[in-house]
Chain A
C-alpha cells in the first residue's frame, strides 16, 4: 500500500446521527420557546416546576412530530422511548446529585469550624453557636460500634460463606435461603430484636450455672453493634459467597490433586485468591451499616457526653447524632446535623470507593505491589540463607 495516501477516515457507526441531532435540537428549542410564551405571556401563573413539566411534555410532542418528517411510526416510537428512558437515567443522577449538593450546602457552616471535629456537645447550651461543640463523641461511637460489629460479623459471615461454597449440601441450601430472608429484615426489627432479647434480658435455665442466672445488657454501644451485626452478617455472607464462587474450580482441583486436604486448599489457595474480593465484601458491609440509624435508635441510648466505653452507658454515633439534632427546633442544632450528615456521607463514599477500586480486580489477579513483595521476599530469603552456606 502506498504511504502517500491519507489514512481513510473511519465511518462512525454509533452515537447520534446529524439528522437525529437536528431534530433533537429543534424540539428542545421549539418547546422552550412555546413554554416561555405560555408562562410569561399567556397564563397568569408563574411556577418553575410547572414550567419544567410543560416544557418536557411539549418537547416530547415536538420531538415526535419532527421525527415523523423522516421516519415511520415505528421509528418515531423508538425515538420517543429513547428520550423517555434517557430522562429516567438523568432523574436518577439528578436525585443523587441533588441530595449530595443540598446536604453539603447546608452542612458547610458547621464543617468550617475545627471544633466541630474535636469537640462534643456535653457542655454546649442551646444558645451556643457553631464555634462550640462538635461530633467528636459521635465519631468515637461510630468507630467503636462499627469495629465491634466487624469483629462479630466478619468471622461469622466469611466462615458461613466458606461453608456455603466449599462444603455445601442440604444444610447449606437452607442456610442460603434463610440468609436471603435475613437480608430483607427491616433494620428497625434488628434493633427491636436486640432490645427484646438483651435490653429487656432473659433468664437462663438453672443447668447453666457459669453465666449467672440472667442475661441483660444496658443501652450501650455494644448493644448497638449487636444490632448492626444482624444487618451486616447477611451482607457479608452474600457478597463473600459470590466472591468465593469466582475462584476458578481448577485451582481447587489442582491443589487437591497435589494431595492436600480441604482445609489446606481453602487456607492456602481459595482464601488468598479471593482476598481482594473478600475485603470488598467487608467494605461494602461497613458502608452499609455505618449509616444505619434505625437499629441503633432503640438500643444505643443517647448522650451528649463523650463515652469511650462501648460496654457501659449510652453512646452516641453519627447517624443517631444527625437524627436527634435534626428534630430539635434550633437552627444551630440543625446546622450541626447537616454537618454530621456530610461527614457520614464522606465516610460512606470512602468505604464505597475503596471497595470499588479493590473489587475491580479479578480474583487472584496480582497487584503490582504484591508482585514486588513476592520477588523481594524470595530475594531476601535467598540472600540471607544463601550466605550461610
Chain B
C-alpha cells in the first residue's frame, strides 16, 4: 500500500497491477468424457486486447474460463496443457487457484453485482470478501480506490452521488461497468471478459467498449464476443475458434485484428467474419 492520500484525481491507492502476458499452450478441455477443446495455443500479449471469436459452442467461453481456473468449478471438468502468466504455470501444483484468480479477473456475460451490497461496497467486495478490506480508520483510502476503479470503468460521474445505493438499482449497462470496476479494484494483471455486452443495448455497449479501450494500458484484456464489429473496434489481436460437428473446438486462425478481418488466410475465417455462417 502506498501512503498517497487525497488528490483531485488520485492514482491507485493499492499497488497497481502490471499488464501480464498470458499464454496458453496446447490446451485441451473435457466435460466428463466429452472433449470440447483441443490443442489450443494462444499468446495474449501484455497490455493488448485479444478477442476470441467464433460461432456458439466452439469452446471460446470454456477456454476463457480455463484462463483463470473457473473451468474446474464445473463438476466433471478437466483439462490438459498449460497456461502461463508471465512464464508461471497457473495450474502448477504450488499455485493456489485463489491467487491466479486474483491476478486474472473476470467479467461475466450477465452483470452480477452483489445484491446485498451498496455500489461502494460492491467495488470493494473483492478485498472485503478476502478479508483484506480497509479497516475502520481508512475510509479515505477506500474512497480513493472506489473512485479510481469507478473512473477507470467510466461509471464515476453517473454514481458519485449515490454510492450507498444497492448495486442492483443501476441499469444493466451501469451494472456491467460496476462489475468491471469491481474486477479492477483488486488490481488484476489480466481481465477476462465473457461476452460482456451480449445483454446490453447499443448505447451501453458503446460505453463498455470505451471502458475497455481506456483500461487496456493498465491491464491485459481477453474478450469473448459474438459481435464482429465489436471485435474489430476493441481488439488488437483476434483468435478464431471453430468446432466441426462432434469434434472438439480449436483455433483455426489467429493474428492481428486487421489481418483476420481484412486478409484472412483461411476460407472459413473469411466466411465467418463476413457473416456467411455462425
Report A's interface with B, CB cutoff 8 A: 168, 248, 250-251, 253-261, 264-265, 268-269, 272-273, 275, 363-366, 370-371, 374-379, 381-382, 384-386, 388-389
Report B's interface with A, CB cutoff 8 A: 5-6, 68, 70, 73, 75, 98-99, 101-103, 105-106, 108, 110, 112, 114-118, 120-121, 125-126, 128-131, 136-140, 143, 162-166, 168-169, 179, 182-183, 186
A268 engages B5 (CB within 8 Å): no
B118 contacts which of A248, A254, A374 (Cβ < 8 Å)?
A374
**CB neighbours of B139 from chain A (8 A):** 381-382, 384-386
What are 30 sample pairs from A and B whose C-beta atoms fall under 8 A apart? Answer: A253-B70, A253-B108, A253-B112, A254-B106, A254-B114, A254-B182, A255-B125, A257-B106, A258-B101, A258-B102, A259-B101, A259-B105, A261-B98, A268-B125, A269-B116, A273-B115, A273-B116, A363-B115, A364-B116, A374-B117, A374-B121, A377-B164, A378-B118, A379-B164, A381-B139, A382-B139, A385-B137, A385-B138, A389-B6, A389-B140
Question: Closest approach, in angstroms, between the C-beta of A370 and any C-beta of chain B?
Answer: 8
A250 contacts which of B5, B102, B110, B131 (Cβ < 8 Å)?
B110
**Helix, strand, loop or mixed for chain A's interface?**
helix
Q: How far is the CA of A287 from the CA of B73 in the complex (A)?
A: 38
B130 engages A264 (CB within 8 Å): yes
- With contacts A257-B70, A259-B103 known, what are 15 further pairs, Cβ within 8 A? A250-B110, A257-B101, A258-B105, A258-B129, A258-B183, A259-B186, A269-B114, A273-B114, A273-B116, A364-B115, A366-B115, A374-B121, A375-B165, A378-B121, A385-B139
**CB neighbours of A388 from chain B (8 A):** 137
Look across to chain B and name the residue whose beta carbon is closest to the beta carbon of A261: B98
B164 engages A264 (CB within 8 Å): no
B126 engages A251 (CB within 8 Å): no
Q: How far is the CA of A364 from the CA of B114 in the complex (A)?
A: 8
Report which residue of B75, B106, B179 has the largest number of chain A beta carbons within 10 angstroms of its beta carbon.
B106
A260 engages B140 (CB within 8 Å): no
B70 engages A258 (CB within 8 Å): no
**CB neighbours of A272 from chain B (8 A):** 116
**CB neighbours of A259 from chain B (8 A):** 98-99, 101-103, 105, 126, 130, 186
**CB neighbours of A385 from chain B (8 A):** 136-140
**CB neighbours of B102 from chain A (8 A):** 258-259
**CB neighbours of B165 from chain A (8 A):** 371, 374-375
A257 engages B140 (CB within 8 Å): no
B129 contacts which of A253, A255, A370, A375 (Cβ < 8 Å)?
A255
**CB neighbours of B183 from chain A (8 A):** 257-258
Report which residue of B102, B112, B126, B137 has the largest number of chain A beta carbons within 10 angstroms of its beta carbon.
B112
Q: How far is the CA of A259 from the CA of B103 in the complex (A)?
A: 8
Look across to chain A and name the residue whose beta carbon is closest to the beta carbon of B162: A375
**CB neighbours of A382 from chain B (8 A):** 139, 143
